[in-house]
Amino acid sequence: MSTATTAIKAKTGASSPSRRRGNAWRQIKRSWQLYVFLALPVAWLLVFMYYPMYGAQIAFRDFLPGRTILGSEWVGLTHFIRFFNSPMFERLLSNTIGLSVYSLLVGFPIPILIALSLNQLRTGIFKRSVQMISYAPYFISTVVMVGLILQFLDLRRGPINLLLQWLGIDTVHFMGIADMFPDIYVWSGVWQNSGFNTVIYLAALSTIDPALHEAALVDGANRLQRIWHIDVPGIMPITLTLLILNMGQLLNVGFEKAFLLQNPLNLKTSEVISTYVYKVGLVGGVANFSYAAAIGLFNSVLGLLLLLAANQISKKFSETSLF
């Protein structure tokens, strides 16, 4: 160990930056086994996460199967401009953002309200049943979830339309009305995820000092007042953190659910960026890799900017930020 340090010292002189470098080297040498552990994960990260970022440059080239990335002609922003000028651009952007904002407006507050409400219950069989049952739908796969939605909303045999029939009301072709797609998408998501999303808030609520509640009780505060003045401020930091993360996801409407719910009748409202990238790039006779990659890259960059903006805003108005 010491010979290594002296060797470096001899080579670079004893000025302070090189001394720091010497320390670093010594530290690395001492814990080389830790880097052995990291080798495989880092190799995977470079290949499967960072190489595709390098490969994303095909968005600026005319890439064709059989050619190498660098061997494809550089076309600059052509694909991006084509996308911005295409009639799909506005539709995709408004569908994608519309679905996310709607999901966020409905799906974000509901778990908070349920968590606050559950937190008021004494631990007992009712509380445990609500938790256990409401978490369950979260574990259903997207395919099964969409299968469920289609079964329930079926025009002729779905229970909802059977009920409408029984009540003497006209049946509704839910999946055939494009304007109903956002409602179906968002509220089925609420059904599936609200229960499970309470977990994190319940965890935060359990860390609130009970002495605060006792003191408030002595001062004569009722339950609502205690929720508002103790519980809500208590979960504020985690709420803001989750809100920032959600803002960063505004453009990432999950592929699976939107894709599986799509049919020719609702495509007008159900086509989102991720499903369109898949169709342009991987389906159909002409493999339009570069154009699809450009749309994907536009999506990723805009998503990152949104996250950074949300983080900045949160930093300014509260003390919560991701980085």
Give CA separation, 75 vs 65, 298, 302, 313, in Å: 17, 16, 21, 36
Q: What's the min distance (Å) between Cβ of 139 and another protein?
A: 5
**Beta carbons within 8 Å of 248's beta carbon, 6+ residues apart:** 303, 304, 306, 307, 310
Rule CB under 8 A: is residue 81 a binding residue for another protein? no
Out of 1, 34, 125, 167, the only residue in the binding site for another protein (CB under 8 A) is 34
Asked if residue 56 binds another protein (CB under 8 A), the reply is yes
Q: Which stretch binds another protein (CB under 8 A): 8-16, 78-86, 101-109, 214-222?
A: 214-222
Which stretch, 26-34, 72-80, 99-107, 177-185, contacts another protein (CB under 8 A)? 26-34
CB of 56 to another protein, least distance (A): 4
The rounded distance, in Å, linking the Cα atoms of 46 and 317 is: 36
Per-residue b or e along 222-238, where b marks 16 or more CB atoms closer than 10 Å to that residue's CB: eeeebbeebbeebbeeb
Sequence-distant (≥ 6) Cβ neighbours of residue 146 within 8 angstroms: 257, 260, 261
Q: Does 97 bind another protein (CB under 8 A)?
A: no
Query: The tokens 């409602």 sit on which residue?
Result: 183
Q: Is the dihedral of CA 242, 301, 289, 46 positive or negative?
A: negative
Interaction residues for another protein, span 224-243 (CB under 8 A):
224, 238, 241
Q: What three-state secondary structure class fits 131? A: helix
User: In the complex, what is the shortest distance from the CB of residue 184 to another protein, in angstroms, rounded to a whole number?
Assistant: 14
| Contacting another protein within 104-143 (CB under 8 A) | 114, 117-118, 120-121, 126, 129-130, 132-137, 139-143
For 220: left if phi > 0, alpha if psi spans -120 to 50, otherwise beta; the answer is: left
What distance in Å separates the CA atoms of residue 77 and residue 61, rounded to the nearest whole number? 9
Name the residue nearer to another protein (CB basis): 86 or 129.
129
Examine residue 186 and tell whether it contacts another protein (CB under 8 A): no
- Which residue among 35, 74, 84, 228 contacts another protein (CB under 8 A)? 35
Q: Which stretch binds another protein (CB under 8 A): 1-9, 46-54, 73-81, 98-106?
A: 46-54
For 240, the 3-state DSSP assignment is: helix
Both tokens of 132, joined, read: 């256990």
If binding is defined by CB under 8 A, does position 307 make contact with another protein?
yes
- Given 98, 106, 303, 313, the residue binding another protein (CB under 8 A): 303
How many Å apart are CA 181 and CA 259, to the nearest integer? 12
Work out whether 55 is an interface residue with another protein (CB under 8 A).
Answer: yes
Which of these ranges, 10-18, 27-35, 76-84, 98-106, lies near another protein under the rule CB under 8 A? 27-35
What is the nearest approach in angstroms of another protein to the Cβ of residue 152?
A: 7
Of 48 and 317, the one with the shorter C-beta distance to another protein is: 48
Among 99, 112, 293, 310, binds another protein (CB under 8 A): 293
Of the candidates 79, 71, 74, the one whose C-alpha atom is nearest the C-alpha of residue 61 is 74
Contact, 187 vs 137, CB < 8 A?
no
| Region 157-176 residues binding another protein, contact defined as CB under 8 A | 157, 159, 162-163, 165-166
Closest distance to another protein from the beta carbon of 81 (Å): 18
The CB-of-254 to another protein minimum distance in angstroms stands at 9
H helix and E strand count, the chain: 18, 2
The 3-state DSSP class for residue 61 equals strand
Among 7, 64, 282, 309, binds another protein (CB under 8 A): 282
